[in-house]
Structure 1
Amino acid sequence: MSFGRSRLFLVSTALSAAMLVSVAPAASAAEPTVLTLTAPGGYAGEDTTLAIALTQADGAPVPAAQVVVERRVGDAWAVVGAVTTDDAGSATLEQTLSRAAADNLWRASYAGDATYAPSADEAGASLRRRNATVRLTGPVRVVDERSALLRVRWTTGSGQPVRGTLRLERRIAGQGWKRAGTLLTRADGRASVRMSPRMDSRWRVRAPRLDWVHGDLSRVHVLDNVPPRAPVVLPAGAPEPRVQVPVPRRAVGEGANLVVSPIPDGVWDEMTGVTWHRGCPVGRSGLRLVRVNYWAYDGYRRRGEVVTAAGASDQIGGALAEMYDRGFPIRSMYRVDRFGWSRRLHGGDDYASMAAGNTSAFNCRWVVNRPGVRSPHSYGRSLDVNTWENPYRSATGLVPNSWWQGRSHPLVAWRSRSHPVVRIMRSHGLHWTYGRGDTQHFDARRHGRVVGYRGCVDVYCH
Structure 2
Amino acid sequence: MAFGRLLVIVSLLLLGATLPAAAAEPASLVLTATAGPADADAPLAVTLTGDDGAPLAGAAVVLERRRDGAWAAVATVVTDTSGRGTAVVRRARDAGDNVFRARYDGDGVHDPARTAPVPSRLVRQPSVVTVGGRDRVVDERAVTLRVRWRTTAGTGVPGPVRLQRRLAGERWETLRTLRTDGRGRATLRVWPRVDSRWRVVAPALDWVRGDRSPVHGVDNLPPGVPVRLPAAAPEPRVDLPRQPRATSPGADPVVTAIPDGVWDDMTGRSWHEGCPVGRSGLRLLRINYWGYDGYRYRGELVAAAGAVDNMARALAAMYAGRYPIRSMVRVDRFGWSERVQGADDHRSMAAGNTSAFNCRWVVNRPGVRSPHSYGRSLDVNTWENPYRSATGLVPNSWWQAHRHPRVAWRSRDHGVVRIMLRHGFRWTYGTGDSQHFDVPSGSGRVVGPAPRACGGHACH
Structure 1 length as normaliser, TM-score?
0.95
Checking the alignment, whether the CA contact within 8 Å between 2:377 and 2:437 is kept in structure 1 is yes
Which residue number in structure 1 is paired with residue 458 of structure 2? 460
1:275 aligns with 2:270: yes
Checking the alignment, whether the CA contact within 8 Å between 1:291 and 1:305 is kept in structure 2 is yes
Match of 1:99 among 86, 93, 102: 93
Which residue number in structure 2 is paired with residue 352 of structure 1? 347
User: Could you say if the C-alpha distance between residues 22 and 116 of structure 1 is closer, same or farther in structure 2, counting changes exceeding 3 Å?
Assistant: closer
Distance 1:307 1:259 in 2: 12
Tell me the CA shift for residue 48 of structure 1.
1.2
Checking the alignment, whether the CA contact within 8 Å between 1:386 and 1:412 is kept in structure 2 is yes
User: Could you say if the C-alpha distance between residues 22 and 74 of structure 1 is closer, same or farther in structure 2, counting changes exceeding 3 Å?
Assistant: closer
Give the 3-state SS of the residue equivalent to 2:193 in structure 1: coil
Which residue number in structure 2 is paired with residue 230 of structure 1? 225
Match of 1:443 among 432, 438, 447: 438
Which residue number in structure 2 is paired with residue 37 of structure 1? 31
Match of 1:184 among 179, 190, 211: 179
Distance 2:13 2:208 in 1: 74
Match of 1:384 among 379, 382, 385: 379
Match of 1:47 among 41, 48, 58: 41
Q: Deviation per CA, 1:126-150: give whole Å up to 9, x if none.
A: 1111111001111111100001001
Give the 3-state SS of the residue equivalent to 1:436 in structure 2: helix
Which residue number in structure 1 is paired with residue 131 of structure 2? 136
Which residue number in structure 1 is paired with residue 4 of structure 2? none
Aligned-partner residue type, residue 305 of structure 1:
E
Tell me the CA shift for residue 63 of structure 1.
1.4
Give the 3-state SS of the residue equivalent to 1:417 in structure 2: coil
* Structure 1 unaligned blocks of 5 or more: 1-12
Aligned-partner residue type, residue 193 of structure 2:
R
Equivalences for 1:11-410 in 2 at 5 Å? 17=11, 21=15, 26-121=20-115, 122-410=117-405
Give every structure 1 segment of 4 or more consecutive aligned residues whose post-TM-superposition deviation is greater than 3 Å. Answer: 16-20, 22-26, 456-459
Q: Deviation per CA, 1:243-265: give whole Å up to 9, x if none.
A: 00001110131100010110011
Tell me the CA shift for residue 442 of structure 1.
0.2
Give the 3-state SS of the residue equivalent to 2:227 in structure 1: coil
Tell me the CA shift for residue 17 of structure 1.
4.9
Tell me the CA shift for residue 450 of structure 1.
1.0
Distance 1:369 1:456 in 2: 10
Give the 3-state SS of the residue equivalent to 2:417 in structure 1: helix
Q: Deviation per CA, 1:244-302: give whole Å up to 9, x if none.
A: 00011101311000101100111011101100000000000000000100000000000
Tell me the CA shift for residue 459 of structure 1.
3.6
Tell me the CA shift for residue 26 of structure 1.
3.4
Aligned-partner residue type, residue 459 of structure 2:
C
Q: Deviation per CA, 1:171-205: give whole Å up to 9, x if none.
A: 00110101111111000011111110100000000
Q: Deviation per CA, 1:405-440: give whole Å up to 9, x if none.
A: 011000000000110100000011111100000000
Checking the alignment, whether the CA contact within 8 Å between 2:390 and 2:457 is kept in structure 1 is no
Checking the alignment, whether the CA contact within 8 Å between 1:450 and 1:457 is kept in structure 2 is no
Q: Percent identity?
A: 60
Checking the alignment, whether the CA contact within 8 Å between 1:390 and 1:405 is kept in structure 2 is yes
Distance 1:177 1:195 in 2: 16
Give the 3-state SS of the residue equivalent to 1:21 in structure 2: helix
User: Could you say if the C-alpha distance between residues 363 and 132 of structure 1 is closer, same or farther in structure 2, counting changes exceeding 3 Å?
Assistant: same
Give the 3-state SS of the residue equivalent to 1:198 in structure 2: coil
1:426 aligns with 2:454: no
Aligned-partner residue type, residue 168 of structure 2:
A
User: Could you say if the C-alpha distance between residues 199 and 23 of structure 1 is closer, same or farther in structure 2, counting changes exceeding 3 Å?
Assistant: closer
Please, which moves more after superposition, 216-225 or 61-70?
61-70
User: Could you say if the C-alpha distance between residues 429 and 457 of structure 1 is closer, same or farther in structure 2, counting changes exceeding 3 Å?
Assistant: farther
Tell me the CA shift for residue 21 of structure 1.
2.3
User: Could you say if the C-alpha distance between residues 23 and 265 of structure 1 is closer, same or farther in structure 2, counting changes exceeding 3 Å?
Assistant: closer
Number of corresponding residues: 449
* Structure 2 unaligned blocks of 5 or more: 1-6
Please, which moves more after superposition, 25-34 or 296-305?
25-34
Give the 3-state SS of the residue equivalent to 1:304 in structure 2: strand
Give the 3-state SS of the residue equivalent to 2:400 in structure 1: coil
Distance 2:250 2:225 in 1: 17
